[in-house]
A and B are shown apart, each in its own frame.
Chain A
Amino acid sequence: MAARGLDLILHRAQVKLCDKLQAKTQSDGVRRPYKEVIDVFQGDLHRAGMKPLTFVRQVLAACVYPPLINSSNLPLDVRQRAQEELGRCVGGSVGSYSAAPGIPEIIHSISEFIKRRDGGIPSHPENIYISPGSQWSISNILNVLVNREASPRTGVLIPVPCHNKTVLSITQLGAVAVPYYLSEEQGWALQVEELQRAHESAKGVCNPVALYVINPGNPAGYVQSQKSVLEVIRFAWEKRLFLLVDELYQDCVYGENCEFVSYKRALSEMGPPFSGTVELASFHSVSKGFSGECGLRAGYVELVNLDPAVMKHIHTLFSKDACSPVLGQIALNLMTDPPKPGDPSYLLYKQEIEQIRTVLVHSVKKVHEVVNSLPGFSCPPIEGGLFAFPRLHLTPKAIQKAKELGLQPDTFYCTRLLEEGGVFTGPGWEYGQKEGTYHIRFCIAVPQDVMEELLRRLSSFHMTFMKDFS
């Protein structure tokens, strides 16, 4: 677990390789089976070829360059919206600092969004902080939780597999990441017995104070059922754990009979004693979902049941970070308060959202179909999130070759896939997996034609690879 951070160096090398290959294919005329690299390493919709939402970009442009507010080339609601957003910026400019937790009206809008989403359960603006991306808030909250002077060290339970940013934050703060394994056989389900085992395993090693949950998952594409969410909350209550819930993919749910259940809502509906005592931090962002605006860096945390005295210090902590980028805050507002039926931009907005949704639903079906049709490759149904995390059943020969090269077996596979197949994916080792199992992760939010090409290349490469190492 601790060694995982080292692969960042390898990742940089791979990114450089990817760029080099991209440049080479355009310049050196060498015959390769691909024209350009398909980069699906990150959960980055735009990089993968998906388009930004027109309404969002029109409003942002008008906010950045206010003369556009008088331009008849932009729909009326865009212009009005830009005017409203600018009216909330100090000095009427997106270039001024906002209040440290975020622009007050945007925070209010987020609290209304949460309230609507959660069937009317109130959300209080004072408990919401906007930050440059969700990882920023996660680090800040972890920073408050982790007492470096404590002995034994602070522990945080994390899922395996798990995207590595939060794990890095935990270890950088001097805390211990305590893994709990999601059940691959059960479609990556989170099982309370496993939480129990993990919590037990921490005895004598560290003092677990928090439980980090990702729902819908990353990289594993599960969506927790209502029952599962309630079990986890109960577990957190029993074991006195602070709940850190990463809900970035709440808009990305595809599985039949699957539904996103917000931890806040579930907690509230459980009633006392849980609802008034379990401390919860839930995170969301403008990077995923349909917006896909990773580069704008805006996310928020909603804090529930925290000690008011601690909240004061959290406020100061966020204050010294100045504020989140204003354009990102506005994008966040547009996400939580989009065009409504009757607005001039509504039809196009709805159409673009539907298009993205169709692509995602189609992608997860195709990936599941194709991967499961290949020998040595398997994948449970992808219920939600933005990634596929299929399992590689590598032969001893392949594993041996990887060892010889000083690489993890799935890293070896991914490197070859990049060089020979022109597809940039992430090795399972980076996310954690059961010993002796291998996986790859790739983003499934790609346009249909790109997905077809991706799967074609992947199949072709995989067959060759399995044959070479049979």
Chain B
Amino acid sequence: MSQQAVNGVSHRGRVLTLDSMNPNVKRVEYAVRGPIVQRAVQIEKELKEGAKKPFTEVIKANIGDAHAMGQKPITFFRQVLALCSYPALLEDSKFPEDAKQRARRILEACGGHSIGAYSASQGIECIRQDVARYIEKRDGGIPSNPDNIYLSTGASDAIVTILKLLVCGEGRDRTGVMISIPQYPLYSAALADLGAVQINYYLDEDNCWSLNITELRRALSAAREHCNPRVLCIINPGNPTGQVQSRQCIEDVIRFAKEEHLFLMADEVYQDNVYAEGCQFHSFKKVLFEMGPEYSNTVEMASFHSTSKCYMGECGFRGGYMEVINLDPEVKAQLIKLVSVRLCPPVPGQALLDLVVNPPQPDEPSYATFMKERTAVLSALAEKARLTEQIFNTVPGITCNPVQGAMYTFPRITLPQKAIDKAKELGLVPDMFYCMRLLDEEGICLVPGSGFGQREGTYHFRMTILPPTEKLKVVLQKIREFQLRFTQEFS
């Protein structure tokens, strides 16, 4: 059998072709792992094979993966998870008592006391209870019902699940989903896959990427001409832009959602990643309930969190959850059906989530180390956020908004007309051309702004602030040098 069958070898022809396949799948793109990453992997291969290049490694600043960039896991979490994986270690005196206690409790809740057993599709009950308690504590006592918590395979899984429930209708009645531009491309990919209508609302680059109700209104009324807008997605803290919404803004969005009868999807996976002075994370749920029963009893909402970001950075565990508010009971029944198809979320990820929402307390042996590690990660990120903004703003042709939160910077680049023309010649979007050149010349992998969406005629790239500080400084320096060279070449 040939590795790749070249043409249809017989009269039979293939069943699955570009023409016969689901047309929606053809429209799916995901820039974070798109063509630039494929090129980066190719270059890494060449380096491995001994090719000579102006750099010795490819720095993958394209993906929000903290451990990949050298960030260390939280010791306590890994201890508990090791104990859960191999319970014989519960006899090992080298593990602290509080870790053993957590592990025993988790194992008790697992079928056959094993993390290898399926859990309920909605997630292990006592973990959902712990998540609810965490939310209550975070939100100043506002009650959270464990029945409204759905554990998931990372936040992405829950986001796609909710979208599946919401997207329906045909033609002019097809569900429209409002998303920010720029946005995290999981949303556009999911909308393409589901055949939903994407409704873009632009964040205000001149005002720190803030969200404007006027702009929401504009986008919504234009959309009403051709679809049925039902959903409003917001990422806070933002990805790729890093803006942290003010409390006032969140209230305005909730009010808007209520007026326009929109389902709110609040992606809050970066809730611990807030750096800028004067900025604070306000959960949508908290603000909703503080606005009183007129809102808290009616606005339908889903908020999402994950174990992949914040200070844990445990992307590989695929842990996450969503909390749904005011969901119609019949819809909830359908939701259960949907999540049951894939059986259950990974149990190690559920266990990890339990530790994130139930970390060491001040009176516990592991507390001091835990706090030290957590603080170190978050303060390093804050420092890198500041450094990145500072350095980029000294580079002619690059302007950078403050990185208020999350893990990325999304600076604007001014490209000379000649470069734009060259890109067109090569059949590339200008910022893709820029990023490909940067990759080839400096071995730095970023994601072009076109992958996230941007105003027509503007160009950006997204870079993570995750490399260790010294390496980050080198990366920033190299980008500066590249920018100057590039501008010179195409002047």
- Residues of chain A having any CB pair with chain B under 8 Å: 5, 8-9, 12, 15, 39, 42, 44-52, 57-58, 60-62, 64-65, 68, 71, 73, 89-91, 93-100, 121-122, 124, 126, 132-133, 135-136, 139, 143-149, 165, 168-169, 172, 209-210, 237, 240-242, 267-268, 272-273, 275-277, 279, 291-297, 304-311, 313, 316-317, 319-328
**Of B75-83, B175-183, B286-294, which binds chain A?**
B75-83
* 22 A-B residue pairs with CB within 8 Å: A44-B117, A46-B114, A46-B117, A61-B83, A68-B89, A90-B67, A95-B67, A126-B3, A135-B342, A136-B342, A145-B21, A147-B21, A165-B340, A209-B15, A273-B9, A277-B14, A291-B116, A295-B114, A295-B348, A306-B14, A327-B346, A328-B346
Given the complex, which residues of A lie within 8 Å of B341, measured CB to CB?
A: 135, 139, 165, 168-169, 172
In the complex, B368 has a CB within 8 A of chain A: no
Contact in complex: A209, B20 (CB < 8 Å): yes
Contact in complex: B316, A46 (CB < 8 Å): no
Residue of A nearest to B154 (CB): A322
Contact in complex: A47, B342 (CB < 8 Å): no
Contact in complex: B29, A316 (CB < 8 Å): yes
Bound complex: CA A273 to CA B240 (Å): 50
Contact in complex: B114, A277 (CB < 8 Å): no
Contact in complex: A52, B89 (CB < 8 Å): no
Contact in complex: A143, B119 (CB < 8 Å): no
Given the complex, which residues of B lie within 8 Å of A241, measured CB to CB?
A: 15
Given the complex, which residues of A lie within 8 Å of B345, measured CB to CB?
A: 297
In the complex, B17 has a CB within 8 A of chain A: yes
In the complex, B318 has a CB within 8 A of chain A: yes
- CB-CB contacts of B358-399 with A at 8 A, as 1s and 0s? 000000000000000000000000000000000000000000
Contact in complex: B22, A44 (CB < 8 Å): no
Given the complex, which residues of A lie within 8 Å of B25, measured CB to CB?
A: 143-144, 313, 316-317
Instruction: Write the nearest CB–CB distance from B414 to chain A, whole angstroms.
Output: 31
Contact in complex: B21, A295 (CB < 8 Å): no
* Residue of A8, A57, A62, A136 with highest tally of chain B CB at under 10 A: A57
In the complex, B226 has a CB within 8 A of chain A: no
Knowing A65-B78, A97-B63, A277-B5 touch, does A47 contact B10 (C-beta < 8 A)?
no
- Residues of chain B having any CB pair with chain A under 8 Å: 1-5, 8-10, 12-18, 20-26, 28-30, 33-34, 41, 63, 65-71, 73, 78-79, 81-83, 85-86, 89, 92, 94, 110-112, 114-120, 153-154, 156-157, 164, 185-186, 189-190, 193, 195, 312-318, 333, 336-338, 340-349
Bound complex: CA A132 to CA B85 (Å): 18
Contact in complex: B120, A44 (CB < 8 Å): no
Bound complex: CA A397 to CA B486 (Å): 85
Interface class of chain B by DSSP: loop
Given the complex, which residues of B lie within 8 Å of A316, measured CB to CB?
A: 25, 28-30, 34, 189
Q: A95-B66, A136-B342 are in contact. List 7 more A-B contacts (CB 8 A).
A: A58-B86, A90-B65, A95-B73, A242-B15, A272-B10, A276-B9, A297-B345
Given the complex, which residues of B lie within 8 Å of A143, measured CB to CB?
A: 22, 25, 193
Contact in complex: A304, B112 (CB < 8 Å): no
Knowing A168-B337, A296-B115 touch, does A320 contact B189 (C-beta < 8 A)?
yes
Knowing A273-B9, A279-B14 touch, does A42 contact B65 (C-beta < 8 A)?
no
* Residue of B94, B312, B340 with highest tally of chain A CB at under 10 A: B340
Bound complex: CA A227 to CA B98 (Å): 58
Knowing A68-B82, A296-B346, A325-B346 touch, does A93 contact B316 (C-beta < 8 A)?
yes
Knowing A90-B67, A295-B346, A297-B153 touch, does A65 contact B114 (C-beta < 8 A)?
no
Given the complex, which residues of B lie within 8 Å of A310, measured CB to CB?
A: 16-18, 21
Given the complex, which residues of B lie within 8 Å of A65, measured CB to CB?
A: 78-79, 81-82
Instruction: Write the nearest CB–CB distance from A4 to chain B, whole angstroms.
Output: 11
* Residue of B4, B86, B157, B344 with highest tally of chain A CB at under 10 A: B86
Bound complex: CA A125 to CA B79 (Å): 34
Contact in complex: B18, A309 (CB < 8 Å): yes
Given the complex, which residues of B lie within 8 Å of A293, measured CB to CB?
A: 116
Residue of B nearest to A48 (CB): B112
Point out the residue from A50, A64, A68, A144 that lies within 8 Å of B21, measured CB to CB. Answer: A144
Instruction: Write the nearest CB–CB distance from A121 to chain B, whole angstroms.
Output: 8
Contact in complex: A96, B85 (CB < 8 Å): no
Given the complex, which residues of B lie within 8 Å of A45, measured CB to CB?
A: 112, 116
Contact in complex: B4, A308 (CB < 8 Å): yes
Bound complex: CA A122 to CA B4 (Å): 12
* Residue of A60, A95, A307, A316 with highest tally of chain B CB at under 10 A: A95
Bound complex: CA A51 to CA B63 (Å): 38
Given the complex, which residues of B lie within 8 Å of A61, measured CB to CB?
A: 82-83, 85-86, 89
Residue of B nearest to A331 (CB): B116
Knowing A90-B65, A95-B67, A327-B348 touch, does A15 contact B116 (C-beta < 8 A)?
no
Instruction: Write the nearest CB–CB distance from A316 to chain B, whole angstroms.
Output: 5
Bound complex: CA A380 to CA B154 (Å): 43
Bound complex: CA A90 to CA B82 (Å): 19
Residue of A nearest to B64 (CB): A97
Residue of B nearest to A149 (CB): B23
Contact in complex: B116, A296 (CB < 8 Å): yes
Residue of A nearest to B315 (CB): A97
Given the complex, which residues of B lie within 8 Å of A15, measured CB to CB?
A: 120
Instruction: Write the nearest CB–CB distance from A7 to chain B, whole angstroms.
Output: 10
Point out the residue from A277, A297, A308 that lies within 8 Å of B10, measured CB to CB. Answer: A277
Bound complex: CA A321 to CA B33 (Å): 11
Point out the residue from A275, A277, A304 that lies within 8 Å of B8, measured CB to CB. Answer: A277
Residue of B nearest to A5 (CB): B337
Instruction: Write the nearest CB–CB distance from B376 to chain A, whole angstroms.
Output: 16
Residue of A nearest to B74 (CB): A95
Point out the residue from A50, A169, A306, A326 that lies within 8 Å of B316, measured CB to CB. Answer: A326
Contact in complex: B342, A98 (CB < 8 Å): no
